Amino acid sequence: MKLRRLFTAPLSEALRGVIHSSRDRESTLEELEETLILADVSAPLTETLLRAAEKRTGYPFDADEFIRALRRELTGLLDTKAPALGLPPGKQVILLVGVNGCGKTTTAAKIGLFWRARGRKVLLAAADTFRAAGSSQLSLWGERLNMPVVGGERGADPGSVVHNSLTSLVNRDFDLLVVDTAGRVQTRTGLMQELGKLTRIVRGFLPHQPRHVWLVVDATMGQNTLDQARRFREFSGITGIVLTKLDGTARGGAVLNILNEIKLPVVFAGTGEKAEDLEPFSVNDFIDSLLPL
């Protein structure tokens, strides 16, 4: 699995370098703190991790023992139980939300392919009608993967695209609809509130089915990802997270921040550009990749 070998220069290597060049306790802790923050770990989480690791190991630090202590602390802090991936029986909808450029459209195609390989009859919906290439990009993926796509003209009401795709889901031989929505800035209240409208349309068609609203997060965006997750949770009632571009980040600390604070399951991780480069997320595998012994 790619998730276990994401980082060519794991965080543990940088931490070992600090410990091996240790001069005194105070300067070593300061350098360890700087190393974690440069890896996009938030200041509060950095403080928690260093305090716990120091308590477990004592000074002078042994590099291997210190990294084991960090791993144990992360395992205790984060929900390491893998989220249930199986979709319930019946017709289901996955609504993908996120900011511009986070990889929602490609992720929609990847998720569709993942579930089709497991027996689902998948329909894609291109509800990104604000972006000129939004609908056409998903349509190209649909052609490439031989997967039907419901779209709309640029500037069309996204709600109408979702309504039309739900009509097809309910009345035709599909059992999974994956909806790609327009990217939006988390500070634009009007655009964020529109997501609530889309979820209400879904509820109107499938009132008794669970909601699947997944926030797509670009893992290369650093600590900004945490603010995105907070705002989208407030407006759209997100139920899960999909991480993209994990193959393109040399740090990974932002993922720890989301796992630690947001307390929502990370469902999938995008680990490359191919349609098959999507795998179920495992906290334990991620910790192994970030902090190998």
Domains of the chain in start order, with CATH, are 2-77 (1.20.120), 92-290 (3.40.50.300)
pLDDT digits (tens, 9 = 90+) for 260-277: 888 888 899 998 889 999
What confidence score (pLDDT) does residue 124 get?
Answer: 98
pLDDT digits (tens, 9 = 90+) for 211-222: 899 999 998 887
d(C-alpha 84, C-alpha 239), whole Å? 12
The mean per-residue pLDDT over the stretch 5-28 comes to: 86
Answer with the residue of higher pLDDT: 107 or 265: 107
The mean per-residue pLDDT over the stretch 60-71 comes to: 95
User: What percentage of the chain exceeds 70 in pLDDT?
Assistant: 89
What is the band of 32 on the pLDDT scale with cuts at 50, 70, 90?
Answer: very high
Q: Is the pLDDT of residue 238 over 80?
A: yes
- DSSP annotation string for 51-66: HHHHHHH-SSPPHHHH
Helix axes 253-261, 283-290, angle to 10 degrees: 150
What angle is formed at CA 133 by the lines to CA 125 and CA 188, rounded to 5 degrees?
Answer: 80
What confidence score (pLDDT) does residue 250 get?
Answer: 52
The mean per-residue pLDDT over the stretch 73-95 comes to: 84
Look at strands 176-181 and 92-97 and give their pairing: parallel
Report the amino acid identity of residue 2: K
What confidence score (pLDDT) does residue 87 get?
Answer: 85
Q: Pick the most confident of 63-67, 209-213, 226-230.
A: 63-67
Question: What three-state secondary structure class fits 200?
Answer: helix
What is the band of 49 on the pLDDT scale with cuts at 50, 70, 90?
Answer: very high
Look at strands 212-218 and 176-181 and give their pairing: unpaired
181 bridge partner residues:
127
Answer with the residue of higher pLDDT: 220 or 203: 203
